[in-house]
Chain A
């Protein structure tokens, strides 16, 4: 009797174990993880070309590149190869017959701090932190999130947005529908152009820096502080320009900028007028606001 009971208890335990195993959230059947490490100089070039997914790039002080890739489908494959000081990370399609969700490949790449990056991504997200090389991003719908990058930054998107926090160096960004957000930039040369997106700039204008922000139809918001020194030329053909900076007229030897007689515009200098700030839009609103006052609202 006792043996029979023990057998029954054992069977129940086995069934329960099988049940638990079946219920456990398993890794996708076709998930693939690849990890590769490359020895480079302290300033390699890393090129990433991906169709869809997240690309996260971090930095360290070692002369090597670590690539960790995850892709869900057998219909894609990841190539991570090295040619001299360049590392290429490319997602290939194995077949033409592929569903959108099968395109996805996620990357986490660690690079030397001074690395140059060339990132091409159609959809998803790119996040880069603490990289000080020449950075180029080319995306369609993918958003770009940059923290504390420096040197040269070039971003082109179709509808993807850009968030740039404490970015330094020369910055050139363009998009059709993407929004741009610059928070505490340390750049003395910034140029941002978007057709329908919005532009937000909250930072100090560097002395003798040049800032060109242009949105054809979207809103441009610029926050300045009392200690900033800049000359402003803000004009919108069909939109409004709201300005809280008490501008002085340009000095007499300077000619005012050429402007359309149809536009709404402000121009003049604030404090010594050291930085040059050019804000333009066709039909969007431009708001130039004092930082403290803007925070109180």
Chain B
């Protein structure tokens, strides 16, 4: 069994309870996968003690923008139809979105842990669900200084991500580099969300 097969099995069977003998054997022999398993167990254990995650406020705005853009929601209609006493759409979907946010972060962690092996080849960076960097001008950044700030910052983070990815490939046991890479992904996600939020406010 290879590492990627174990990952598939983990997705379907869960954490080790129903793993096949081949997966168990692989876990015994592969330090990388056993480390990943330990991390996942630690995350599961820690998450069981968490009451409720509170994602950043700007996440709601960016998710709303995305969902509106995809035609999944139409806020104006919702406001007309919803009775006054009914919780707003965002209050109703917040728990689900909080879970989605945690899932995104967890997936990033797993992705870093599994995909960046010494043999994997550098490729175009695809962030969370293939989100492309938004065009600041299209998002309402009328001020060229502001648009340049967003563009430059995305470049800075992308360059840093590439630097970390290279290091992790060359030094797969370098946990600190993995942490920096994970931070960089989160920072990029935050920046994209902030870009979309800023484009929407105040006008």
A contact set with B: CB distance below 8 Å: 49, 51-52, 90-93, 96, 98, 100, 103, 120, 122-123, 140-141, 158-160, 176-177, 195-196, 216-217, 235, 237-238, 259-260, 262-263, 282-283
* Pairwise interchain contact A177-B202, C-beta atoms closer than 8 A: no
Q: A262-B176, A282-B180 are contacts. A140–B203 as well, Cβ < 8 Å?
A: no
The B contact surface, by secondary structure, is helix
Judged by DSSP, the binding face of A is loop
Closest residue of B by beta carbon distance from A99: B142
B193 CB, nearest partner CB in chain A, Å: 12
Docked-complex contact A195 and B187, CB < 8 angstroms: yes
Residue contact A49 to B177, C-beta cutoff 8 Å? no
Q: Are A158 and B203 in contact (CB under 8 A)?
A: no
A177 and B163 in contact, given A52-B143, A100-B142, A122-B146 (Cβ under 8 angstroms): no
Known contacts A92-B203, A123-B146, A176 near B176 by CB under 8 Å:
no
B residues near A (Cβ < 8 Å) are: 141-146, 148-150, 152-153, 156-157, 160, 163-164, 167, 171, 174-177, 180, 183-184, 187, 191, 194, 198, 201-203
Q: Could you say which residues of chain A place their CB within 8 Å of the CB of B148?
A: 141
Identify A158's interface contact among B149, B163, B174, CB under 8 A. B149
Residues from chain B with Cβ under 8 Å of A216 in the complex:
160, 180, 183-184
9 closest pairs, A vs B, by CB?
A: A260-B176, A141-B149, A176-B153, A159-B149, A123-B145, A93-B203, A196-B156, A122-B146, A100-B143
Which residue of chain A has its CB nearest to the CB of B150? Answer: A158
Asked whether A103 and B187 contact (CB < 8 A) given A140-B150, A158-B149, A195-B160, the answer is: no
On whether the beta carbons of A260 and B175 are closer than 8 Å, the reply is yes
Name the contact of B142 in the complex, choosing from A90, A98, A176 (C-beta under 8 A): A98
- Tell me, rounded to whole Å, the shortest Cβ–Cβ distance linking A245 to chain B: 22
The reply to whether B191 and A259 form a contact with Cβ atoms under 8 Å apart is no
Min CB distance, A176 to chain B, in Å?
4
Q: How far is the CB of A57 from chain B (nearest CB, A)?
A: 19
Scoring B149, B175, B184 by chain A CB atoms within 10 A of each residue's CB, the highest score goes to B149
Residues of chain B contacted by A159 (CB below 8 angstroms): 149, 152-153
The answer to whether B203 touches A141, judged by C-beta atoms less than 8 angstroms apart, is no
B144: chain A residues at CB < 8 Å are 100
Residues of chain A with a CB closer than 8 A to B183's CB: 216
Contact present for A51 and B153 (CB under 8 Å):
no
Q: Which residues of A contact B141 (CB under 8 A)?
A: 122
State A290–B106 Cα separation when bound (angstroms): 42
A-B contacts, 26 listed (Cβ < 8 Å):
A51-B142, A52-B146, A92-B203, A93-B203, A103-B143, A120-B201, A122-B143, A123-B146, A140-B146, A141-B145, A158-B150, A159-B152, A176-B153, A176-B156, A176-B157, A176-B187, A177-B149, A177-B156, A195-B156, A195-B160, A195-B184, A196-B160, A216-B180, A216-B184, A237-B180, A260-B176
